């Protein structure tokens, strides 16, 4: 057999199926004489970052157990232009290519692959500029409407939300470490909540 390939298929919602993608990828792999070492299916929206199956494919690439990743479209793999570029760089470091059935193949060991990565890098920078511009425009519009941005002085949203529960557990004699573990907070956050509460409870000294 030829080069080792991982097939990656993704759909956005649970009412969709990866069957067509898998069928097309298998057929392409067989025509191209790839050795298919694994098929990875995922249900996740294009914007989500927690793609467990994609992480498994990247782990195979890092272990150099595959030579190429096959997808039906680049949008099935990358969450954005920037994300695509980052993963391409990671794959390049491990000598792994990314190939889509629409003819887009990124083999960064070739001049064509490097040229396409350069184009992607330019698009990624353009995308970052657009995002920064939208953020600045949105902040300016919000300020013009009189909206106060950011956290108010002295305000600690997460700590304030847990203060009552923290002090209740302290009253039960639990250690700061156990309280932090049970509430999913850091030990330093628990200590800060207790210190602020006790400081606020101490009456000021008379003159």
Point out the residues that are catalytic. 12
Spatial contact of 135 and 127, defined as CB atoms under 8 Å apart = no
Q: In what order do the strands lie in the sheet with 97-100?
A: 35-43, 4-11, 68-71, 97-100, 105-106
What gap in Å lies between CA 108 and CA 93, rounded to an integer? Answer: 9
Burial readout 107-123 (b: 16 or more C-beta within 10 A, e: otherwise): bbeeeebeebbeebeee
Spatial contact of 5 and 34, defined as CB atoms under 8 Å apart = yes
* 76 contact partners, CB below 8 Å, separation of at least 6: 8, 9, 10, 21, 100
Task: Scan for tokens 């923290």, then name that residue.
Answer: 166
Provide DSSP, 98-127.
Answer: EEETTS-EE-TTSHHHHHHHHHHHHHHHHH
Task: Scan for tokens 């009412």, then name that residue.
Answer: 15
* 106 contact partners, CB below 8 Å, separation of at least 6: 88, 91, 97, 98, 99, 113, 116, 117
């Amino acid at each position: 057999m030829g080069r080792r390939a991982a097939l990656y298929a993704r759909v956005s919602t649970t009412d969709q199926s990866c069957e067509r993608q898998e069928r097309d990828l298998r057929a392409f792999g067989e025509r191209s004489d790839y050795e298919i070492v694994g098929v990875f299916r995922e249900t996740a929206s294009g914007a989500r970052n927690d793609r467990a199956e994609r992480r498994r494919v990247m782990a195979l690439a890092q272990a150099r157990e595959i030579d190429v990743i096959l997808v039906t479209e680049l949008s099935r793999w990358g969450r954005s232009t920037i994300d695509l570029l980052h993963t391409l760089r990671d794959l390049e470091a491990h000598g792994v290519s990314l190939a889509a059935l629409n003819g887009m193949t990124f083999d960064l060991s070739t001049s064509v692959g490097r040229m396409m990565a350069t184009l992607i890098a330019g698009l990624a920078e353009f995308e970052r500029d657009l995002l920064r511009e939208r953020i600045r425009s949105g902040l300016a519009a919000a300020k013009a409407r009189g909206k106060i941005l950011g956290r108010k002085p002295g305000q600690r949203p997460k700590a304030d939300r847990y203060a009552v529960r923290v002090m209740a557990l302290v009253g039960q004699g639990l250690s700061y470490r156990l309280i932090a573990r049970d509430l999913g907070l850091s030990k330093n956050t628990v200590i800060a909540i207790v210190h602020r509460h006790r400081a606020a409870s101490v009456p000021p000294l008379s003159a």
